[in-house]
Structure 1
């Protein structure tokens, strides 16, 4: 018996020029199934009071308590887990808040878990609401840009007889700013390396946004050449309005189209552009060692081959089916011959 937890997030990422805003969805179509919803108690220092998420204008060293409401619309007393997760760039290349461990991989100048404090678990009686305070303590230093995060509320649920537990969660955005000063955007290419991405062979270009600004409408164009032959071995282009969270890293994966990685020297030409007409161009040489190629191939192509049946099994099955078919034909012909002899 195993426990599988599925977290369904009813939160949305709302993209507004020129920066990214997180937005909670109240998801009326799922409230009956989920049995609860959440909402922000909007304070006076809300940047745009028409927004349903926290968009707070703060000052250095400021202390403030804001609140969210958890509305339990079910007929059962319920427990809820609360986390405040900083924005990060997902493996798919979009701003996300749902996994706290992914956020911990980034080097934020101001971490949300040192700024925002709240209870990690709360109880809410059936058919009632509870206001949950969140204490904010801003850094003493003034900053330009934004601190992006989200309040994640997940309802505890009992495990079913099948061992499956379905948890339903909401994400409510928490954005903290101190000024409207525009941040000069930068992008860095930290390294290029062979990698397993989404179960496939690939080359990963590790990019870093070192600024406190969220980037939107990102487009990627990449070309990989074999340095020995100067031949292009892979070209990719992504134009899917991709994003990058402030102070985050993104492993831009160049899919190798299910082909084996070959050891050798290569070069990468990468062009990245954003909605503000910024363009970053990188040229980087890199090497795939024999060890790296074997490890990635073993984890992807070779693993997939091992999971499938060997070719000889299909050959044996084919031979057996042919023998059975011939046997049936022989029996039919023998019966017909015997019937004719009786006539």
Structure 2
């Protein structure tokens, strides 16, 4: 299955229970200058799928083929990427180039196993076959290796065409094709670890990040998180976050953000209590975590300075104080005038 994505948003292409959401290829072609089709090999596990889901042996080598079709009347350049799947903070599996670091549990990186060209020129109104060479690790492994191929027209070509057409919004589209490799049918038991809890920001808004690690070679789907943060020894949570229908890629980590909802971050000692439920290998698993952490004064101060909601609330509060102060001043003046007039009236009687 081939999926598209709009840059400017997270590179989010994801699979649920190894099945992709299906997009209409005609609609995609209308937005892009080329299309992508996969040639499914004989060792495809499920031949009804159009992404690569292959069973191979250790140290086996194999070529897989993708056909790129140019629907325009001029040559176009397509940039190609090979990436290991990672998990973004929204609980969505990413297959494109990402700033997210590889997890420490990742033993085999798809980008080292699957090799192909970095770019391809497709002649006008023509098709071109692109081969990718797979070299499986010499050491046998259980579970899956998960990654993806990405295809995007060269930015300078897209922007040049849009500039000629007078288009100012320059969204760039990309195809992604998943690659799932396995060697054995052994069921891998899923496991989650809560590695660390730290204050941070997303889109200039304060959050507390809880880093959940999937250290096994298994995809987790239907992931639900119920997170509560308490002041140290507190009985009532000061922050709460509940989210469901997420995923965590094999051997990756989910940095789960707990929003402060526009409130100022306060220094102090806290405790995170988190319940996580996920489906893996068609079985539901549950985990419970408790972790103490500290927010330092400098951390809170620096984050509050750059939080756009905190600054807006502070500015609104300042205006409110000014209005209240002015109203009180007017009332005091009125009271003084009334008292003076009353005294004058009494003295004249």
Answering whether residue 293 of structure 2 is matched by residue 286 of structure 1, we say: yes
Answering whether residue 177 of structure 2 is matched by residue 172 of structure 1, we say: yes
Answering whether residue 40 of structure 2 is matched by residue 42 of structure 1, we say: yes
Q: For 1:95-125, what per-residue CA distance to the aligned partner results, in whole angstroms no more than 9, with x for missing partners? A: 1112333254665210111101101011111
Cross-structure match for 1:256: 260
2:196 alignment partner, one of 182, 191, 197: 191
CA distance in 1, matches of 2:96, 2:22: 12
Relative distance call for 1:260 and 1:8 in structure 2 (3 A) is: closer
1:98 alignment partner, one of 96, 114, 120: 96
CA distance in 2, matches of 1:25, 1:285: 44
Relative distance call for 1:185 and 1:105 in structure 2 (3 A) is: closer
Q: Aligned-pair distance for 1:203?
A: 1.0
CA distance in 2, matches of 1:253, 1:198: 12
Q: Is the CA contact 1:6–1:167 (under 8 Å) kept in the aligned structure 2? A: yes
Answering whether residue 133 of structure 2 is matched by residue 135 of structure 1, we say: yes
Cross-structure match for 2:278: 274
Q: Aligned-pair distance for 1:14?
A: 3.4
CA RMSD of aligned residues (A): 2.9
Q: Please list every run of 5 or more consecutive structure 1 residues that lacks an aligned counterpart in the other structure.
A: 317-343
Q: Aligned-pair distance for 1:234?
A: 1.6
Q: Counterpart of 1:29 in 2: which secondary structure?
A: helix
Q: Is the CA contact 1:76–1:126 (under 8 Å) kept in the aligned structure 2? A: yes
1:79 alignment partner, one of 70, 77, 80: 77
Q: Aligned-pair distance for 1:277?
A: 2.2
Q: Is the CA contact 1:152–1:169 (under 8 Å) kept in the aligned structure 2? A: yes
Q: Counterpart of 1:30 in 2: which secondary structure?
A: helix
CA distance in 2, matches of 1:46, 1:7: 34
Q: Aligned-pair distance for 1:146?
A: 0.6
Q: For 1:134-160, what per-residue CA distance to the aligned partner results, in whole angstroms no more than 9, with x for missing partners? A: 000000011111111111000122434
Cross-structure match for 2:186: 181
CA distance in 1, matches of 2:230, 2:11: 42
Q: Aligned-pair distance for 1:198?
A: 3.3
Q: For 1:219-246, what per-residue CA distance to the aligned partner results, in whole angstroms no more than 9, with x for missing partners? A: 11111111154432122221x3111001
Q: Please list every run of 5 or more consecutive structure 2 residues that lacks an aligned counterpart in the other structure.
A: 1-5, 324-349
Q: Is the CA contact 1:150–1:173 (under 8 Å) kept in the aligned structure 2? A: yes
Q: Aligned-pair distance for 1:89?
A: 0.5
Q: Aligned-pair distance for 1:32?
A: 2.5
Q: Is the CA contact 1:260–1:301 (under 8 Å) kept in the aligned structure 2? A: no
Q: Aligned-pair distance for 1:196?
A: 0.8
What is the 5 A alignment of 1:1-80?
6=7, 12-16=13-17, 20-22=18-20, 25=23, 27-80=25-78
Cross-structure match for 1:203: 208
Answering whether residue 247 of structure 2 is matched by residue 243 of structure 1, we say: yes
Q: For 1:264-289, what per-residue CA distance to the aligned partner results, in whole angstroms no more than 9, with x for missing partners? A: 11111100011322111011111111
Q: TM-score, length-normalised on structure 1?
A: 0.81
Name the count of aligned residue pairs.
308
